């Protein structure tokens, strides 16, 4: 298998980077229940509205989320379910490694 050129590796890295913050994983966890507005997420997560909007944008730009405006509200939802599968793999891995720590990882 020939090696990927640097730009391709960068693209892959960007996908991982979008998932490399606990706050954004928390948002995905919330959205797993279904579409939610920005304000709903702000209240659920105890973060500033500015920050939630910002992190939503990161996930959106990474292609994971869909955005639907209804009046003044904006509903975000998980558009690309492969993100859940990716998280699942990582969680399985952590669960295997950490039988001792009593946490069951699962987004």
Partner DNA sequence: TTCTTGCATCGCCTTATAGCGATATTCCAC
Partner DNA sequence: GTGGAATATCGCTATAAGGCGATGCAAGAA
The residues that touch its own copies, with contacts defined as CB under 8 A, are: 1, 3-6, 8-17, 19-26, 29-30, 32, 63, 80, 82-83, 85-87, 89-94, 97, 103, 105-107
CA-to-CA distance for 5 and 42, rounded, in angstroms? Answer: 39
Q: Which does 47 bind (CB under 5 to 8 A by kind): DNA, its own copies, none?
A: DNA
The nearest distance, CB 78 to DNA, in angstroms, is 15
Q: Helix, strand or coil for residue 70?
A: strand
Supply the minimum distance, in Å, between the C-beta of residue 81 and its own copies. 10
Report the alpha-carbon distance of residue 105 to residue 96 in Å, rounded: 10
Instruction: Count the alpha carbons within 13 Å of 45 in the hemisphere toward its beta carbon.
Output: 26
Does residue 67 interact with DNA by CB under 7 A?
Answer: yes
């Amino acid at each position: 298998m020939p090696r990927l050129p640097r730009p391709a590796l960068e693209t892959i890295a960007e996908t991982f980077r979008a998932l490399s913050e606990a706050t954004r994983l928390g948002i995905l966890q919330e959205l797993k229940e279904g579409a939610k507005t920005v304000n709903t997420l702000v209240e659920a997560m105890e973060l500033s509205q500015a920050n939630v909007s910002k992190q939503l944008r990161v996930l959106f730009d990474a292609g994971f989320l869909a955005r639907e405006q209804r009046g003044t509200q904006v509903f975000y939802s998980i558009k690309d379910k492969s993100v859940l599968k990716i998280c699942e793999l990582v969680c399985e891995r952590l669960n295997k490694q950490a039988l001792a720590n009593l946490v069951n990882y699962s987004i």
